[in-house]
Structure 1
């Protein structure tokens, strides 16, 4: 297929869905889409309504904004409020609530907080403002870590000393392992993250098939990508196989992006442990700057509280991120917690499961609750 509309062919989608129904007749299967981008595709295009009812899609911890614990938000705000600091961040981090407000609140109170499209934009600000300390709030999985790494290498090469990184990059494999080891959830297979896999390749997922006997299919982000990936998973299960397959072959290579991995290895190393919202502390699940990049490490340059902060009791983001509950099962979903008044991170991020349900899934959910026929909406 060459064109976007070919990846959204309704007749082909219905044909593949019928095939899935035939293969899985008499079985109920629970599959986790790890990536928040997949969640939004599923609900934007009504894929749950196309798939047979015996396929239950649950949502995993693949939204980097969502998994960041509240204490790290407080640390970022503390840095932003320091004298002579320009604090830069991606746009969806501006409204994520900490224990006492968000970065947007800090900006309203006088902190110089700016959103940027890339860490290179932050480095440019450092060149333009030599009398200020410019800090970049680095978040994301292995997808965005290479851009932070390249920026650090450039800052080192140009000896730009008024630039630093508050590193919060996390790694996907330990989070998947934590979910597999959790007694709360039984899964039959995984729709693997496409953009992360573009960087890390296929090999890191091998343990899922080898040790846990769960199939993984790395998927793209168009509707037919998702539906085809589900078919590939159920085909493996029907044949008694558990393998790592790549549906997203037009982007993902088995070895990943070698140059990106090299840049990450030069600038970052694994933390001994890191706290994840909903999953607790997971060993070797996040990155920090290497000692040779200490001059550009905001955690060393600034004093941060470093205090663990509990989530609001009403918020059930943790259970959503583990796939234990669906967003609409949270007590405050769509009432006290909306994209305009978020209590938890899953409602703020552009990849958050709660935001996907709120923006795209409310009509089908109402029908499901009341056992009414679902009316497909186009657009």
Structure 2
């Protein structure tokens, strides 16, 4: 596809033609494809992509929402730091309402903690310059997409000798999560829609194990409806031809080698943790980043004593199963009743990248359940 304008990526007639080709190639064979990234999940729900694809193609929503995969214990640790004297605690907006075991960062703010939302770690760093008598902590979350901005800010803090700034590092890495899903006994997948933004940083090579060891195709995809539909077509074409390769649909952004400078900045400032707990997936080895020892002066985990406890999710919440792709959001027993974006029980209902929030916000759950009940075929939706 060679396109210049966003409307071209939302052409309903072209989508329908590609969907017909997908149906022809797949011959009605049931296929489960996981879109790893929460941004893809958002596009799928918003634009009704599932309704355009043939009914034998089942899109499984993966753990690619960085807010959603943080376990409750790490939220409690963040709140504990935020409540400390003389601390300005900074975070991205969607982390404010994520529930810990005793409330959220927004609750802590309401009770007097100095919690501020920022758009980037650099914003937090500017606050440290502005308030030299305060300790400014940045709650660093995200996959490899956001880790470079944290790394660059750390390099700058060290170069300028700003010591009242620190990072509470919760960056996670996508490849170990994909390995954990592939090794999971309760889910069988036929292919992956690869994450576009993560791949912009890490490139294509890290996914090679999926094709070589597990014989599953991966197609790195963009974020418009036709990007995803074309990626599904590319996966189905590989399967129909008996191939399992790593392909790049998102060539306008993703290079095979990734972003070398971003990777260098990360390597200089961070290293892999021996293990890290993921909501729904448990402890995964080498699946998250921490600051290197030479950046200990900017490491909030070393600077502050935090509870560091493992906290179980509320029994009513099935966020873990949603993140693993074992159930769809509307199959959770509290979805849309006790758990809504205004009163979230689990993280998947908080972040706009969370599958439950996307389902709820776009009303996809009612359509999906009705279609399942009535066995209605896919309908064409236009979004222009």
**Number of equivalent positions:** 379
Aligned match of 2:249:
247
Match 1:36 to one of 35, 38, 60 = 38
Match 1:321 to one of 316, 320, 323 = 323
Whole-angstrom distance in 1 between the partners of 2:306 and 2:224: 41
Is residue 52–residue 381 contact of structure 2 (8 Å, CA) maintained in 1? Answer: no
Q: Tell me the alpha carbon deviations over residues 129-161 of structure 1, each in whole angstroms, 9 at most, x when there is no partner.
A: 001000000000000000000000000000000
Match 1:362 to one of 365, 376, 383 = 365
Whole-angstrom distance in 1 between the partners of 2:313 and 2:42: 24
Instruction: Note the 1:43-62 alignment, pairs <5 A.
Output: 43-62=45-64
Q: Secondary structure at the match of 1:59?
A: strand
Whole-angstrom distance in 1 between the partners of 2:380 and 2:212: 39
**Structure 1: 5+ residue runs without aligned partners?**
none
Match 1:271 to one of 260, 270, 273 = 273
**Could you state the TM-score of these two structures normalised by the residue count of structure 1?**
0.99
Whole-angstrom distance in 1 between the partners of 2:215 and 2:268: 34
Aligned match of 2:95:
93
Q: Secondary structure at the match of 2:21?
A: helix
Whole-angstrom distance in 1 between the partners of 2:33 and 2:120: 33
Deviation at 1:359, TM superposition (A): 1.2
Instruction: Note the 1:13-162 alignment, pairs <5 A.
Output: 13-162=15-164
Whole-angstrom distance in 2 between the partners of 1:18 and 1:377: 15
**Structure 2: 5+ residue runs without aligned partners?**
none
Deviation at 1:272, TM superposition (A): 0.2
Is residue 34–residue 61 contact of structure 2 (8 Å, CA) maintained in 1? Answer: yes
Q: Secondary structure at the match of 1:281?
A: strand
**Could you state the TM-score of these two structures normalised by the residue count of structure 2?**
0.97
Q: Secondary structure at the match of 1:2?
A: coil
Is residue 92–residue 118 contact of structure 2 (8 Å, CA) maintained in 1? Answer: yes
Match 1:371 to one of 358, 369, 374 = 374
Deviation at 1:377, TM superposition (A): 6.0
Could you say if the C-alpha distance between residues 108 and 377 of structure 1 is closer, same or farther in structure 2, counting changes exceeding 3 Å?
farther
Deviation at 1:350, TM superposition (A): 1.2
Whole-angstrom distance in 2 between the partners of 1:24 and 1:290: 48
